[in-house]
Amino acid sequence: RAFVASGFHLRAYVDMVNTPAFHADVVAYPAITIIAREAAGLTRIAHRPEIDQDTLTRLAAELTGPSPDPARGVREIARVTAGAEPWILESSDQLALVRRLEASFPTIEEAGCKVGIGVATGADKAFIGRFDALDVEEDRKLP
């Protein structure tokens, strides 16, 4: 993310999660991402388009045309990329609030707070069953 934010423009992002666009199930976060070596600007965003020729033709025109029509499912969001920070692609209102909070307040670390992940036990399995029949140490069982 920092690499893209430092010298590129995230021109467009099309969320393809749960769309029947692939021959096999996709378990990651499929998306069409267009990145250009140019100054940062507005990012055009679309979510889960219908996969048919007419819809995709209109989507391509909205993504590449002079000004997208939000009624056709493409929005423009400013300042999506911010260094190594996560890309907030859902709502321009949410993004504006996050950016305002970032500019107005110190980070948690700058405020002197520390956040930890807790104790790592390595207990990756959950055991559910009759309490007396569980093959688990007695002092580790929870009612």
pTM here is: 0.64
Span 101-117, pLDDT tens digits: 988 999 888 999 887 76
**Mean pLDDT across the chain, nearest whole number?**
83
Phi and psi (nearest 5°) for 129?
Answer: 170, -170
Phi and psi (nearest 5°) for 8?
Answer: -140, 175
Q: Can you tell me the distance from the alpha carbon of 89 to that of 97, in angstroms, rounded to the nearest whole number? A: 13
| Domain boundary assignment for the chain | 2-104
Span 14-58, pLDDT tens digits: 998 888 887 777 767 788 999 999 988 899 999 888 889 999 999
Neighbours of 109 (CB within 10 A): 9
| Cβ-proximal residues to 12 (8 Å cutoff; 6+ apart), any chain | 32, 33, 34, 43, 44, 45, 46, 63
Both tokens of 122, joined, read 């390595």
